[in-house]
Amino acid sequence: MDFYKRMEIVCHSIPYGRVCTYGQIALLCGKPKNARQVGFALSHRLLAEDIPAHRIVNSRGILSGAGAFEYPGLQQKLLKKEGICVQDMCVDLKKYGWHNTMDEAEALLAEFERLSL
C-alpha cells in the first residue's frame, strides 16, 4: 500500500467549504492510527502541490498546519475564502467538518484497489 498516494486521493476528495482531520484522512486511507504520518507528509511536502492542505485541521478543529504554508495566516485566509468561519485559529467541526458517508469511503477503497494502492 502506498499511503501517500492514498492520502493524495483522499485529500482531493475533501469537499470545497469543508475541513477534514488528520485522523479522518488516516482512517480513510486504511491506517486509522497514522494521523501523525498525515501531518508529517503535509509538513514535509511529500504530496502533490495541488493538495488542498488548508482544509486539514487537527482533531479539535485547530489550524495546526502552519508549517505547510508559505506564510502565517494563509491557511485561515484560504478557509475564509471558502466560507469557513475561523475563530481563534479554530474551526467548528460539527458545522464545517467533512462527515463522509460510507458510500464515499467505499468509493475511495474501490479507487485504491483500481490503482493497486
> Distance between CA 18 and CA 56 in Å, rounded?
9
- pLDDT per residue as tens digits for the range 30-60: 999 999 999 999 888 888 889 999 999 999 9
Say if CB 84 and CB 47 are below 8 A apart.
Answer: no
- When the candidates are 1.10.287.130, 1.10.357.10, 3.40.50.1000, 1.10.10.10, the CATH number that belongs to 3-114 is 1.10.10.10
* pLDDT range class, residue 66, cuts 50, 70, 90: low
Residue 65: pLDDT over 80 = no
Specify which residues 50 forms β-bridges with. none
Residue 28: all three cell numbers together: 480513510
- Where do the domains of the chain lie? 3-114
The pLDDT value recorded for residue 47 is 87
pLDDT of residue 3: 95
